[in-house]
Amino acid sequence: MGTTQLETAPEPKYWHLKTVLSDALDSEFAVGEILPNERELAARFGVARATLRQALEQLELEGRLQRRRGVGTTVAPPRMGVAVGDSAHGRPGTAADGWQPVDADEAVPPTAVARLLGTAAGETVQVVRRIRKTHGQPVAAELLYVPVESVPGLSVPEGLPGAARARLVLRELEDLRPDGQDQAVELGSARADDAKQLDRLPGAPVLVVTTRYFAGGRTAAVAVATYRADTCRLTFGDNGAAEAVPAVLAG
Amino acid sequence: MGTTQLETAPEPKYWHLKTVLSDALDSEFAVGEILPNERELAARFGVARATLRQALEQLELEGRLQRRRGVGTTVAPPRMGVAVGDSAHGRPGTAADGWQPVDADEAVPPTAVARLLGTAAGETVQVVRRIRKTHGQPVAAELLYVPVESVPGLSVPEGLPGAARARLVLRELEDLRPDGQDQAVELGSARADDAKQLDRLPGAPVLVVTTRYFAGGRTAAVAVATYRADTCRLTFGDNGAAEAVPAVLAG
DNA sequence: CAGTGGTCTAGACCACTTT
DNA sequence: AAGTGGTCTAGACCACTGT
């Protein structure tokens, strides 16, 4: 007879662990509850800590868990629906939908952005930093690149503090009333500066939303927004039913 | 004087490694080129293999590298722009834009999907499996859930092979001409079956696109599509300039 | 078959938060 | 100071791909 186990399909330990933990989260834990620490969990399941961590990482990636150094691992709430496709929200400069201006500067954009803007290499543009909060939590950090040609009337007083300067550029851009936009979403990892604003560690998974704003047949501005992938579900709606959709399976 | 190094900011080794490798990829490697193997690279940089792998994982997550077991690590081409927001593409049933029907069945949807559809718990729906290819490569696997109420005229002959049955449901659905849709994007990890169709390992990072199709004030169908996060950049465009946008920084 | 990436272990130390 | 998650090591073996 030989080996009895046919079709054994050697599932990795961390994968099996993940499903076990996932089921346990559904049935035995409430949102916000703290799990036993990693060493304890590893011992309980009879695996090395690294293996246990591999399972936890996956669950965190799927938005099921939240881990904070020095604190512990907690059960994460369902992901927030965040509207990004809605033109009303998307237009830069429209105030108070969770976006807060942080800073502004004149700088040379990354080459990829410069290519989108159609500016020459080395040419400086206005760079506005914004942060977006939902339910008090930071969900996105954005860099908005505006060529000076797009805001010809702009004059920035010397010594103006950053947030005020940012508001000034945004207000100016609002008058432009862009007539179209274009968005792309891809997976990335948080740069150190973005990570700090999003209250995450560098390298944390983020959804990078690149938006092109068109005005008068030109690309008037480009925004690169990095959303926390663990806590956010980006919604693109004909109708803004953001909160209605629950987190989806696919784990 | 004490320690000379102030503001040392102890950057993790794998993080520093990642930037070093990233720069090397830009300057010294061509797309498709194979890197030295992991043991060799780890030795060259004087780190443990696990640490080297942590850096490679990040680069793979960002779409810079592609790793295949038994083969090696290669430099990945820029991400493909894949249109998902365009209604013309998005409508289920419109043929031949890269989508290929695979199979169809009658089954009970996951509870999250049932909630979106507004069907009773335990109620069966038509489930169509599709796969999307671009440039010959699989980029997405989709499950399309269609309540029987949405396609009242449907009659499925017994013993019809899967792909034909799928085409039948899609054709029926096409007649419905849904009048609106609603999309959400979130990060997930590939289930075993999706992973196989996407030619990836289970757990690989994917972008999960949930689409609701509306017809006559009801939710006529729900599609859950999982896109390969490493190779795809999802585009939501007023104009379909999918290929024009290069991959973005944010690494 | 040899060579590759994928999994796993049993430790150690570090950075951070809370008490 | 104690406890947490984050980083790192040096090894081992496994699963898969090519020849």
Cα–Cα distance measured from residue A158 to residue A161, given in angstroms and rounded to the nearest whole number: 9
Closest-CA residue of A relative to B183 is A236
Does residue B95 register a pLDDT over 80?
Answer: no
Q: What is the mean pLDDT of chain B?
A: 85
> B21 CA to D6 C1', in Å?
22
pLDDT of residue A168: 87
> What are the pLDDT digits (tens) for A7-39?
446 799 999 999 999 999 999 999 999 999 999
B71: CB within 7 A of chain C nucleic strand: yes
The partner residue sitting opposite B81, judged by closest CB among A184, A194, A251, is A184
* Whole-angstrom Cα Rg for chain B: 22
Please give the full DSSP string across B122-170, using - where no structure is assigned: T--EEEEEEEEEETTEEEEEEEEEE-GGG-TT--PPTT--HHHHHHHHH
Q: What is the mean pLDDT of chain A?
A: 85
Report which residue type is found at A123: E
Q: Cβ contacts (< 8 Å) between A118 and chain B: which residues?
A: none
The H or E element containing residue B80 is: strand B80-83
In chain A, the percentage of residues whose pLDDT exceeds 70 is 84
Judged by DSSP in three states, B176 sits in: helix
The partner residue sitting opposite B187, judged by closest CB among A18, A229, A249, is A229
> What are the pLDDT digits (tens) for B67-78?
999 999 999 999
More confident residue, B141 or B3: B141
> A70 CA to D1 C1', in Å?
14
> What are the pLDDT digits (tens) for A96-137?
468 989 999 999 999 999 999 999 988 999 999 999 998 888
| Domains parsed from chain B with CATH numbers | 5-75 (1.10.10.10), 87-245 (3.40.1410.10)
A2: CB within 7 A of chain C nucleic strand: no
User: For chain A, what is the total number of helices (H) and then of strands (E)?
Assistant: 7, 10
Q: How far is CA B140 from CA A172, B198, B225, B240, in A?
A: 41, 7, 6, 19
Cα–Cα distance measured from residue B190 to residue B229, given in angstroms and rounded to the nearest whole number: 10
Does residue B44 register a pLDDT over 70?
Answer: yes
pLDDT of residue A4: 34
More confident residue, A208 or B6: A208
Q: Do B186 and A15 touch (CB under 8 A)?
A: no
Cα–Cα distance measured from residue A18 to residue A13, given in angstroms and rounded to the nearest whole number: 8
Does residue B251 register a pLDDT over 60?
Answer: no
Q: What is the DSSP letter of A154?
A: -
First to last CA, chain B: 36
pLDDT of residue A47: 97
> What are the pLDDT digits (tens) for B163-188?
888 888 888 888 777 788 889 999 99
Give the residue carrying structure tokens 């830069």. Answer: A92
pLDDT of residue B237: 74
Cα–Cα distance measured from residue B38 to residue B24, given in angstroms and rounded to the nearest whole number: 16
Assigned token pair, B170 = 């899609």
Does residue B89 register a pLDDT over 70?
Answer: no
Report which residue type is found at B6: L
Band of the pLDDT at A246, cuts 50, 70, 90? Answer: very low
Mean pLDDT within B141-148: 94
> What are the pLDDT digits (tens) for A139-177?
999 999 999 888 777 777 777 777 888 888 888 888 777
Nucleotides of chain D within 7 Å of a protein C-beta?
2-12, 14-18
In chain B, the percentage of residues whose pLDDT exceeds 90 is 61
Please give the full DSSP string across A29-55, using - where no structure is assigned: --TTPBPPPHHHHHHHHTS-HHHHHHH
Does residue B155 register a pLDDT over 60?
Answer: yes
Residue B202: left if φ>0, alpha if ψ -120 to 50, beta else—which one?
Answer: beta
* Whole-angstrom Cα Rg for chain A: 22
Task: Measure in Å the smallest separation between the Cα of A233 and chain B Cα atoms.
Answer: 5
Cα–Cα distance measured from residue A112 to residue B218, given in angstroms and rounded to the nearest whole number: 42
pLDDT of residue A208: 97
Cα–Cα distance measured from residue B196 to residue B198, given in angstroms and rounded to the nearest whole number: 5
Beta strands in chain A (DSSP E): 65-68, 72-75, 80-83, 99-107, 125-134, 137-146, 180-189, 205-215, 218-228, 232-237
B44: CB within 7 A of chain C nucleic strand: no
pLDDT of residue A249: 39
More confident residue, B42 or A6: B42
Does residue B247 register a pLDDT over 60?
Answer: no
pLDDT of residue A215: 87
Q: How far is CA B163 from CA A177, A226, B131, B134, in A?
A: 48, 39, 11, 20
Phi, psi of A108 (to 5 degrees): -85, 125
Cα–Cα distance measured from residue A160 to residue A43, given in angstroms and rounded to the nearest whole number: 57
Q: Do A235 and B208 touch (CB under 8 A)?
A: no
